[in-house]
Amino acid sequence: MDKSLRKPVIAGNWKMNNTPEQTAALISEMKPLVAGADCEVVLCVPYIDIYAALSAAEGSNIKIGAENCHWAEKGAFTGEVSAQMLKAAGVPYVIIGHSERRQYFGETDETVRDRVRAALNAGLKVILCVGEILGERELGITAEVVRKQTKVALSGVTENELSNIIIAYEPVWAIGTGLTATPEQANEVCKIIRDLIAELYSKESADRFVIQYGGSMNDSNAADLLKQYDVDGGLIGGASLKADKFAAIVKAAC
Ligand code: PGA
Which residues span the domain enclosing 108? Answer: 3-253
Q: What is the mean pLDDT of the chain?
A: 97
Choosing from 235, 242, 245 the residue with most ligand 1 atoms within 8 A of its CB, the one to mutate for a pocket test is: 235
Phi, psi of 143 (to 5 degrees): -60, -45
Q: Rounded distance, CA 137 to CA 160, Å?
A: 32
Percent of residues, the chain, with pLDDT higher than 70: 100
- Domains in the chain: how many in total? 1
Q: 2-53, pLDDT tens digit by residue?
A: 788 999 999 999 999 999 999 999 999 999 999 999 999 999 999 999 999 9
Q: Is the pLDDT of residue 196 over 70?
A: yes
Cα separations in angstroms, 200 against 2, 156, 225: 20, 11, 26
Widest CA span in the chain: 48
Per DSSP, the residues of 109-124 read HHHHHHHHHHHHHHT-
- The model's confidence at residue 173, banded by pLDDT at 50, 70 and 90, is very high
CATH code assigned at 196: 3.20.20.70
Judged by phi (left if over 0) then psi (alpha if -120 to 50, else beta), residue 64 lies in beta
CA of 225 to the centre of ligand 1 (A): 14
Rg of the chain, C-alpha, whole Å: 17
What integer pLDDT is reported at residue 2 of this predicted model?
Answer: 73
Sign of CA dihedral 44, 48, 49, 51: positive
Q: Rounded distance, CA 212 to CA 166, Å?
A: 7
Q: Rounded distance, CA 89 to CA 32, Å?
A: 24
Query: Which residue has the CA at smallest separation from atom 1 of ligand 1?
Result: 237
Query: Which residue has the CA at smallest separation from atom 7 of ligand 1?
Result: 237
Query: Which residue has the CA at smallest separation from atom 6 of ligand 1?
Result: 237
Q: Is the pLDDT of residue 95 over 80?
A: yes
Q: Is the pLDDT of residue 1 over 60?
A: no
Query: Could you tell me if 164 and 126 are in contact, meaning their C-beta atoms sit under 8 angstroms apart?
Result: yes
In sequence order, which residues have a C-beta less than 8 Å from that of residue 199 and are 6 or more positions away? none
CA of 10 to the centre of ligand 1 (A): 12
Q: 103-150, pLDDT tens digit by residue?
A: 999 999 999 999 999 999 999 999 999 999 999 999 999 999 999 999
